[in-house]
Amino acid sequence: MAAPTLPNKNITPSEGISYTTTYTVSATTPEYPAAPFPVGMHSLGENGSEYVFVKASVALAQYQCVAINPTMLAAVPATITLVNEQQPLGWPQVAIAASDFGWVCIRGENFGVLAKKGSLPFNVSGPAANPNNKLYISGTSPGVLTTTSVRTSALVTGVTLTTSSTSITPNSSVVVAIATWPRGAL
């Protein structure tokens, strides 16, 4: 199964929210001379999802796990260090260019995440022996989840991958997940 084809829709009564729109702010651009929403604003979507409006400190890939700085509400690809520091985690459902603004999914179900090939609780022929595999942030690919634990890996809790990436190449692929307050483990 591939990532969701339809993004979660906004159910919060706020006009103009689109979780798949990014915003380039420029004093010379009449469309967005300032961010259209306050950074840190939360919005509820379908499937129990919640999104937060952030500024991308660097370019963020679609479905990449990002760490959200709780004071600046800026997002960067999640690394072992950031996960171990207990930074809040989320997943943009669209690529966000550096210094642009956009929405990041922080919890819910039926949203896309990047995972290393074979890092799933299910395989092509059905459920694996252990359907509750632990997930870690990749030490070699920031923002990508994996079931491979190494000495320096960082455990991510509160996320369950619900589709398989075993038959997809290259090394990471988009899969569907459920998240309930994802964080690095203590």
Residue-wise pLDDT tens digits, 85-103:
999 999 999 999 999 999 9
The answer to whether 10 touches 16, Cβ cutoff 8 Å, is no
- The alpha-helical segments, DSSP class H, found in the chain are 80-84
For 92-96, 121-125, 137-141, 155-159, which range has the lowest pLDDT when averaged over its residues?
Answer: 121-125
Of the segments 21-25, 137-141, 177-181, which one has the largest average pLDDT value? 21-25
The answer to whether 133 touches 120, Cβ cutoff 8 Å, is yes
The per-residue pLDDT for range 13-25, each reduced to its tens digit, is: 567 899 999 999 8
Closest CA relative to residue 60, chosen from 18, 105, 17: 105
13's CB contacts (< 8 A; 6+ apart) are none
Cα–Cα distance measured from residue 61 to residue 83, given in angstroms and rounded to the nearest whole number: 18
For 34-43, 55-64, 68-77, 140-149, which range has the lowest pLDDT when averaged over its residues?
Answer: 140-149
State how beta strands 74-77 and 50-56 pair.
parallel
Structure tokens at 42: 């939360």
